[in-house]
Structure 1
Amino acid sequence: MGYVRLRQLVIAAASLEVAETLANVLGLGEAFLDPGVAEFGLVNRVYAIGDQFLEVVVPTALTAPAGRFLARGGDGGYMAIFQTDDLAAARARADALKIRRVWNIDLPDISASHLHPADVGAAIVSIDEARPAASWRWGGPDWEKHAARGKLTGAVIHTADPEGMAARWGEALGITPKGGVIQLADATLEFRPGTEERLVKFKVSVPDVGAAAVRAARRGLDVVNDEVQIGGVGIVLVG
């Protein structure tokens, strides 16, 4: 596999108010509403940040997978979407590892596979191949016009077995972790000890951490060590 990069992080929430809060605090632009997520019993908002994306999904039925996720633990990190230039190899690797691919799609401009969270741990892992590589169908037809300044620099996953889960995600992504850390082309995944197995933090580089903190305070949110809780996720503001 030539490269693997972090392209999108997803929060599942009970209300779209979480999307509004996220956009306000981070200074995000206009959201894309993807009608395709209705297939999964969802409505959503997708925001471009640089050439990466933050998404909030809200289930329209409690029987939807995201509805069951919320019933287990409330709002929180739901999915991490990675981009590769060789999805065929990633699919073959998942099959060899007996990691279930619960959804697959092949379109002219993008192909993707969702890996079962029970087989990798903590969250749904999606591996996608966009054609051309700079494009991103899931961001909407004109996401470049609405992209905010910034970047997703990493994520933190809690688990009782950090090195074990890092190894499993590493196998799926085709990257050998060092301890509990997976270094991607453009971001870092950190697996840390925790009683709840979950995607718990998104690291987001923003143009002005102080301004983002002020916007969070205006919404009644506490910012501690440049981290603010939104939708059950610790948004770590990085300068």
Structure 2
Amino acid sequence: MSRLRLRQLVIAAESLKVADRLQEVLNLGEPFADPGVAEFGLENAVFPIGHQFLEVVVPTRDDAPVRRFLDRNGEGGYMAIFQTDDLKAARQRIDGSGIRRVWNIDLDDIAASHLHPADVGAAIVSIDEAHPWDGWRWGGPHWESNSIEGELSGAILESPDPNALASRWAAALGVPASTHPDTTKISLEEDQTLVFQQGAETRLEGFCISINNAMKALERADRLKLESNGDSVIIGGVRLVLNNE
């Protein structure tokens, strides 16, 4: 059985001011700007949290896929990146399921496949294999020294038909979905959970984040007059559900 864990969550935004807001509210370290994303007509900022990553992407060209996403949906959850230890098997399974791969790369230290969002729903799914397991090229060469304590414990997806959306994600990830009274869930390694719930639109709605002193982060959000509700704050169109590490 291959391993699978959530490694990175991505917000599409109109400007990198969203990255500044994330950094200020969550007390993040310095971000990495990956020159490689210029291939997609983007600029970005990648923040490490524990051994995982939050990324903000901003279009630099009118023909960039992120530009089209923003024009259709506004700012919000754009991509979820999962890490496997057997990408070859994952690619074979994905191809056999009829899900299209829209981008592939194979480097010495990392390989990845992006899946067509129309085939999966709500967001782009990427499945990556890093060598070594704890390495992560996309975080930059110094991410470990910039990381804060914490983790991405999961994500929340909404759809008018959450069970159907969960089935498509389960097929993409090769992990079964389980039905609960009000939600459907996919459980991953390290107690990570993808939650699928009822919503008016199909979207990657929330990121679940554990950090030290979540209450202070919410207080910083209040001082910035950001929209918040209980244990969550909205930044870049994404609801960040904050818990104490």
State the TM-score bracket (shorter-chain normalisation).
over 0.9
Q: TM-score, normalised by structure 2?
A: 0.96
Which residue of the partner structure matches residue 182 of structure 1? Answer: 186
The answer as to 2:239 corresponding to 1:234 is yes
Deviation, structure 1 residue 171: 1.2
User: Cα deviations across residues 184-239 of structure 1 (Å, max 9, x unaligned)?
Assistant: 10210001111111000000001001110111112111331110000000000111
Which shifted more, 162-171 or 82-91?
Answer: 162-171
The answer as to 2:229 corresponding to 1:224 is yes
Q: Distance in 1 between the 2:222 and 2:176 partners?
A: 40
Question: How many corresponding residue pairs?
Answer: 239
Q: Distance in 1 between the 2:105 and 2:66 partners?
A: 19
Deviation, structure 1 residue 149: 1.1
Which residue of the partner structure matches residue 130 of structure 1? Answer: 130
The answer as to 2:71 corresponding to 1:67 is no
Deviation, structure 1 residue 50: 0.2
Q: TM-score, normalised by structure 1?
A: 0.98
Q: Where does 1:45-64 land on structure 2 (aligned, <5 Å)?
A: 45-64=45-64
User: Runs of 4 or more off by more than 3 Å in structure 1?
Assistant: none
User: Cα deviations across residues 15-47 of structure 1 (Å, max 9, x unaligned)?
Assistant: 100000011111100100000000000000000
Read off the aligned partner of 2:185 and give its amino acid letter. Answer: V
Q: Distance in 2 between the 1:217 and 1:178 partners?
A: 36
RMSD after superposition: 0.8
The answer as to 2:13 corresponding to 1:10 is no
Identity %: 59
Q: Where does 1:1-239 land on structure 2 (aligned, <5 Å)?
A: 1-179=1-179, 180-186=184-190, 187-239=192-244
5+ long unaligned stretches in structure 1:
none
User: Cα deviations across residues 106-158 of structure 1 (Å, max 9, x unaligned)?
Assistant: 00000000000000000000000000001000000110010011100010011
